[in-house]
Amino acid sequence: MSTLLQRRLTSLIVPHTRCYPGKYPRPKPGTSERPPYRAPDPLIDNPAATITSLPEDDLTFIHRPPPTSPSPLSYTTNPVSPLLQPKASSTNGPLPPLIRPSADKPPLPRVPDEVVAKIRQLRLSNPEKYTRGRLAKEFGVTQHFVALIAATKKSKRKELVSQRDVLHAASRAKWSDKKKLVEDIRKKRRTYW
């Protein structure tokens, strides 16, 4: 083939190749047109910085005081910063309401040791009769406090729970079909929580 024919074929195969240089020629690899940006050292270029050099150890210490350092004329009684100055007048307006209503309640008084001993003695003597609720009402304390100071033994607790379950099963036997269905639906719903 002739060279003229080869040129025509290559021009058909490689369409639209740019034959002119670009507007912004890129530098050759490994070179750059301008040097890289070197940020000035904020410690050395600071006029307030104190530079101490130790030539024998080849060390340089640069101390720059913080920009928020207090003025030597600032005292706690007369601060320079307006943020540290006390308010001219305090507001005596109403305070916002408390987040929790229980925060306003005073703490319960401490229970004397004699009362604690009496609660323990009654609970140990007959836990079926002297329940946590009954003792809490009688001595003016919470049920949780009674449970903490006079807990029943584990074997006795299991026995009382089994008796309670028998009573509950007897009362559940009297339920209607609709009430049983509603309770079963509620139990099923709780499994998905």
Q: Is 7 exposed, middle or buried (0-12, 13-18, 19+ CB in 10 A)?
A: exposed
CA nearest to 161, candidates 127, 137, 188: 127
pLDDT value of residue 179: 94
Q: Looking at residue 155, what is its pLDDT? A: 86
Q: What percent of the chain has pLDDT over 90?
A: 32
Compute the distance between CA of residue 149 and CA of residue 161 in angstroms, rounded to an integer: 20
What pLDDT does residue 47 have?
79
- Taking only the tens place, the pLDDT of each residue in 53-63 is 888 888 888 88
Instruction: Give the model's pLDDT for residue 46.
Output: 77
pLDDT value for 170: 94
pLDDT confidence of residue 40: 77
Determine the pLDDT at residue 73: 66
The pTM of this model reads 0.39
What are the residue ranges in the chain where pLDDT is below 70? 1-36, 68-91
**pLDDT in the model for residue 81:** 67
